[in-house]
A and B are shown apart, each in its own frame.
Chain A
Amino acid sequence: MAHGPASEWGVDHAARYKGRLGILLFAIYTTLYVAFVLINVLAPSVMDTAIGGLNLATIYGMALIVVALILGIIYNKLSTDAETRLTAAAEPLAAPDAQPQASKEDAQ
């Protein structure tokens, strides 16, 4: 599958922050996911609990889909803010949100 040449990302000042944030959000989601799996394996009748006209299984399942999206949005917001903040702090003379140089070495 050809997707074109690789793009280059410049120096990433927020790398450590994003790495830790990623792990945190991942841990949150995994906890919800593992809880879902364990309830089904250890106490499956809990999934029958009625909520409105639906059962817990349907709501929990849909929630896992929605929460994934929400966590993704949170990750993006916090990461973008961190990139702006940390880049401005590290390179105060450069414009915030600096794009990598357009003219790259032709090492590709």
Chain B
Amino acid sequence: MIYAQSPLAIGIFFFFVIAVLFISFYLGRKTKSAQGYYAAGSSIHWAVNGIAFAGDYLSAASFLGICGMIATAGYDGFLYSIGYLAGWMVALFLVAEPMKRLGKFTFTDALDSRFKSRKIQLTAAISTLVVSIFYLIPQMVGSGTLIQPLLGLPHYVGVILVGVVVTIIVATAGMASTTYVQFFKGGMLIFFSTILVIAVLSRGLSTNPDHGGERPYHQFTTLQATEAADGTFKVSDSSFQAAAGWKQSVYWKEGFVKLSKGDRDSIWHVKKADSGYTLEETLYTAKLADGTMLYNGAAADKGEFFPVGHLQEIKMDGQTVAQTGALGPLAFLSTVRDSTIVLWGKKVLLEGDNQVQIYFQKPTPGAKVLRPGLKFKVDGATPAQKFDFLSLMLALFAGTASLPHILIRYYTVPSPKDARKSTIVAIAAIGFFYALTLFMGLGAMMSGVINITDNNMSAPLLALSFGVTLFAIISALAFATVLGTVSGLIVAASGAVAHDLLDRFFGMNLTDSKKVLAGKISAVVVGIIAMWLGIIFQGMNVSFLVGWAFAVAASANLPAILMLLFWKKTTADGIAASIVVGIVSALGLILLSPDMFVRYGKLASDAPIAFNNPAIISIPLSVIALVVVSLLTQVRTSKAPEAEVAGT
């Protein structure tokens, strides 16, 4: 697909990003030299901290991933919003205050404070490293997604751009994500998303989403065809020809047929009609054996691949209309519910050595869009599919509190009351934002803007349909958010390597300057790994990737944290075992999952397991490991837990 580059958009984008970076550096310097803003009496107001919390938490995954999934699969994307938010209940009610009372706020430190065990140091450091890398993948994929429509550069350019910029920042100065920067980013993200939703509601719905005539929407063709007596495939429009072996081809078996017109091949979805067949135009990509990608039979820049997203029929208050006017939020949802939307199914085939992905039209009643079932099958689902659904909802619920960079915010809160209040502000802000995602996602679904090969772009492209300025601002905010999250993750990961692993565990006793050097080298290595992974996972919905990260984090960390806080018989060996079992089982199951197999270039049905999210197996395994090993090692830790040491 071709995106027209606008100098204005690029200008606004760079201005915003540089402004955010500048503010972040400036405030970061000030904070470091002023002995911390935590001097007596000058604490940050809980409301500011709360919005900063939200800014910290709402990453590319929320904005791009959830909207993208809602835009293509409806309510199933909203499940992510619900799950992510529900996870705050674990953090607020179970983990935050007790952890804070231990006097520690990183996962590793908290575990270490009670046990001082080398095994825990090692496993917790590895856990931080693995979870950070997993959480980096969706951010890197998201950055490629943002750059593509903005600068017209391929996905990998965006990934490398973020990777290089952040690695340089982290390796040279270290980015302090100060509260005010996060407050600013979080506040602006919510503000502009609200503007976008108001714009969507004002535009209303239309069966021909041409943005007020500015961008004609591709009208997908339907043809008729019959099988002639001599075995040839006769199409009503005779400029289309079918190859001789059409009935034996892999396409026909799956319900498609490949036609050629001139030098271009197109694939059509075949439906039986009264006399012969009806052919519906599809979109397809083909990855040839040598790696070239063809879009609808032509190279990417030929513009033969169209954005999609339209309503087939709109029913408002019982009447069929072609266009509604402005709608309120409830009217919007109920109109969607009564209408029919054209969604797109995907079929992956192997034609010889080429991997072909076909996107075909699937008119879907709005009622089905507004409830779970389109991506995560629930109606008439197989046990494996139900299993997958349960697993996902568990991963989301358990994941929030397992992320090290969430709890760390409680470090600087002056009192339990302020901690609670800022959490509530955060929950309100995040909850409101997630409610907005439903409207942004649905808006994108029906505005003819979706790139069906990469639904991550849906929200920015929706903004684009309202004008370049909104698009540039929102892309810039999302990009700055990605920069912040990526830098934090690289710092955490390189810290785990340099400080926890090399210095403490391996006892290398590095001098300060060597430690810093080790940190920088690890930052570069982690950065390179992250870039590579970000390129490989192009096109995968970022929320889905975060679902994986959450599953790994929850399997590795949550049983350890909860048992440490609530079960007296927990031992160091038990915790170490639980972390290892959690990571290995979660990671292993992910690598064997159907969606990973598609990434490997194979078919989903080749995968040995049938579900994508490992949480429902890996979390219980981790708990069992902890309990069993703790009970087995009870004898060794017979001394009573020491009185808590304050500070440090």
Mark A residues whose CB is within 8 Å of B: 1-9, 12, 15, 18-19, 22-23, 25-26, 29-30, 33, 36-37, 40-41, 44-45, 47-48, 52-58, 61-62, 64-66, 68-69, 71-73, 75-76, 79-80, 83, 97, 99-100, 102-105, 107-108
Contacts and interface: CB of A to CB of B under 8 A. Distances in A.
B434 interface: yes
Nearest to A58: B370
Given A40-B378, A41-B389, A57-B370, A99 B415 contact: yes
Nearest to A37: B393
B213 interface: no
A73 B424 CA distance: 7
Interface string B428-472: 100100110010000000000000000000000000000000000
A2 B337 CA distance: 47
B346 interface: no
Contacts of B492: 1
22 contacts: A4-B411, A4-B412, A5-B412, A6-B103, A6-B411, A8-B103, A19-B97, A19-B98, A33-B86, A40-B372, A53-B331, A55-B337, A55-B367, A55-B370, A57-B75, A62-B435, A68-B89, A72-B424, A76-B417, A79-B420, A80-B417, A97-B417
B602 interface: no
A40 B381 CA distance: 11
From B31, B378, B438, name the one whose CB has the most chain A CB atoms within 10 angstroms. B378
A58 B333 CA distance: 9
A58 to B, nearest CB: 6
Contacts of A9: 100-101, 415-416
A53 B337 contact: yes
Highest count of chain A CB atoms <10 Å: which of B86, B88, B100, B333 = B86
B435 to A, nearest CB: 6
Contact of A44 (B177, B379, B646): B379
Contact of B411 (A7, A30, A105): A7
B640 to A, nearest CB: 19
Nearest to A25: B93
Contact of A15 (B37, B101, B413, B423): B101
B537 to A, nearest CB: 24
A40 B647 contact: no
Interface in B63-103: 75, 78-79, 81-82, 85-86, 88-90, 92-94, 97-98, 100-101, 103
A36 B644 CA distance: 40
A99 B36 CA distance: 19
B86 A29 contact: yes
A8 B647 contact: yes
B648 interface: yes
B82 A40 contact: no
Contacts of B646: 8, 107
A87 to B, nearest CB: 11
B82 A64 contact: yes
Contacts of A52: 330, 334
Nearest to A2: B176
A108 B647 contact: yes
Contact of A26 (B85, B89, B411, B415): B89
Nearest to B90: A26
Contact of B434 (A55, A57, A65, A80): A65
B92 A72 contact: yes
Contacts, number: 188
B408 interface: yes
Contacts of A72: 88, 92, 420, 423-424, 427
Nearest to B420: A76
B435 A26 contact: no
A1 B414 contact: no
B152 interface: no
B545 to A, nearest CB: 21
B253 interface: no
A87 B92 CA distance: 22
A15 B105 CA distance: 18
B234 interface: no
A69 B367 contact: no
B421 interface: yes
Contact of B92 (A7, A45, A75, A107): A75
B371 interface: yes
B41 interface: yes
Contacts of B427: 68-69, 72
B397 interface: yes
Contacts of B413: 7
Given A57-B75, A107-B648, A65 B424 contact: no
Contacts of B420: 72, 75-76, 79-80
B491 interface: yes
Nearest to B368: A48
A98 to B, nearest CB: 10
A22 B40 contact: no
Given A44-B379, A79-B417, A83-B417, A69 B78 contact: no
Closest 10 CB pairs of A and B: A53-B334, A102-B40, A57-B371, A22-B93, A26-B93, A4-B36, A107-B647, A44-B378, A76-B420, A65-B431
B619 to A, nearest CB: 14
